[in-house]
């Protein structure tokens, strides 16, 4: 057996012809692509360390935080999931300095094809990482905005036409049919024209820049075969996960025994073995 031990973090991704996934990049890197078709064992040691302060915690919140960090950090606030409810804009942000570097920066509104076509947002610096983490096979920027708050306003408007959620079980059962994202972009911009005009009137023309000529990104994942049924492994219920690695998509390891959401278990210390 070849062994690795460390605290889980979101897998580092690299967009190449086929996405490359790496665990423990700051320690002894484990490139999981190299072990497709091999049997893995992932054993949770029972130790959880907060991904922010690294203190030991009995329970993890919001993908890896201890309870005190979960309660105090702006990164764990509800407006991260609903940026149109930005607390900085309301004057109630937990960490205004953090918000200046994470929220008060250019964001991209995009269309992607995950389980279906959806609208999403991300910091401009997080392209294409955000798309890969969601398991998108196609993605296309459609607007550039000044802040996260502005991106949330536009996302809510466009989501009325295409939705903003990924059905993760469907995403893991295979790649969706290719979509004409440019055609979708034209349709939702046209149907949202009145709403866009209202936002521009309220926040200024500089806040929203529609993008008409952005190239589309195609993303291929390392998958040998897709599961017919999606069963999720859970370290809290069964600390030992074993199975043959059949693929990786989004932040999920797809084993022949079930799927494991690596990001969900941020801060969990695991030992990983690969059968020789």
Per-residue pLDDT of the chain (276 residues; tens, 9 = 90+): 458 999 999 999 999 999 999 999 988 899 999 999 999 999 999 999 999 999 999 999 999 999 999 999 999 999 999 999 999 888 899 999 999 999 999 999 999 999 899 999 999 999 999 999 999 999 999 999 999 999 999 999 999 999 999 999 999 999 989 999 999 999 999 999 999 999 999 999 899 999 999 999 999 999 999 999 999 999 999 999 999 999 999 999 999 999 999 999 999 999 999 986
Q: How far lies 29's CA from each of 25, 32, 91, in Å?
A: 4, 9, 42
Rounded distance between C-alpha atoms, residue 209 and residue 124, angstroms:
13
CA dihedral for 69, 49, 27, 124, sign (positive or negative): negative
Residues 121 and 213 occupy one common structural domain: yes
Residue 68 lies in a domain: no
Residues 112 and 198 occupy one common structural domain: yes
Determine phi and psi for 254, rounding to 5 degrees: -105, 100
Its pTM stands at 0.94
Residue 72 lies in a domain: no
Residues 143 and 166 occupy one common structural domain: yes
Instruction: Provide the domain count of the chain.
Output: 2
Instruction: Quote the domain boundaries for residue 204.
Output: 105-218
Residues 214 and 227 occupy one common structural domain: no
- Residue 122 DSSP label: E
Residue 32 lies in a domain: yes
* Closest by Cα among 179, 131, 187, 181 to 158: 187
Rounded distance between C-alpha atoms, residue 259 and residue 265, angstroms:
13
Residues 137 and 174 occupy one common structural domain: yes
Residues 227 and 176 occupy one common structural domain: no
Peptide bond into 145 cis (omega under 30): no
Residues 146 and 181 occupy one common structural domain: yes
Residues 197 and 245 occupy one common structural domain: no
Residue 33 lies in a domain: yes
Q: Which of 174, 198, 218 is the last residue of a domain?
A: 218
Q: Which of 218, 234, 261 is the last residue of a domain?
A: 218
Residues 22 and 34 occupy one common structural domain: yes
Residues 115 and 33 occupy one common structural domain: no
């Amino acid at each position: 057996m070849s062994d690795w031990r460390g605290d889980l973090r979101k897998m580092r991704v690299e967009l190449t012809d086929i996405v490359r996934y790496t665990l423990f990049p700051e320690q002894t890197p484990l490139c999981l692509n190299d072990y497709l078709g091999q049997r893995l064992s992932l054993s949770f040691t029972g130790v959880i360390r907060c991904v922010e302060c690294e203190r030991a915690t009995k329970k993890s919140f919001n993908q890896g935080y201890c309870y005190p960090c979960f309660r105090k950090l702006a990164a764990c606030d509800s407006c991260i999931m609903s940026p149109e409810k930005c607390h900085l804009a309301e004057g109630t942000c937990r960490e205004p300095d953090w918000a200046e570097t994470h929220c008060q920066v250019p964001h991209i509104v995009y269309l992607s094809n995950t389980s279906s076509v959806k609208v999403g947002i991300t910091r401009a610096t997080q392209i294409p990482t955000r798309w890969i983490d969601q398991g998108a096979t196609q993605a296309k920027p459609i607007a550039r905005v000044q802040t996260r708050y502005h991106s949330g306003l536009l996302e809510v408007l466009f989501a009325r036409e295409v939705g903003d959620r990924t059905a993760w079980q469907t995403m893991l059962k295979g790649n969706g049919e290719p979509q004409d994202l440019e055609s979708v972009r034209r349709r939702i911009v046209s149907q949202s024209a009145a709403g866009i005009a209202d936002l521009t009137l309220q926040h200024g023309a500089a806040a929203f820049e529609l993008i008409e000529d952005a190239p589309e990104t195609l993303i291929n994942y390392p998958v040998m075969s897709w599961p017919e049924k999606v069963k999720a492994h859970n370290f809290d219920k069964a600390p030992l996960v074993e199975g043959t690695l059949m693929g990786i998509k989004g932040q999920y390891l797809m084993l022949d025994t079930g799927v494991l959401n690596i990001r969900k278990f941020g801060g969990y210390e695991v030992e990983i073995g690969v059968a020789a």
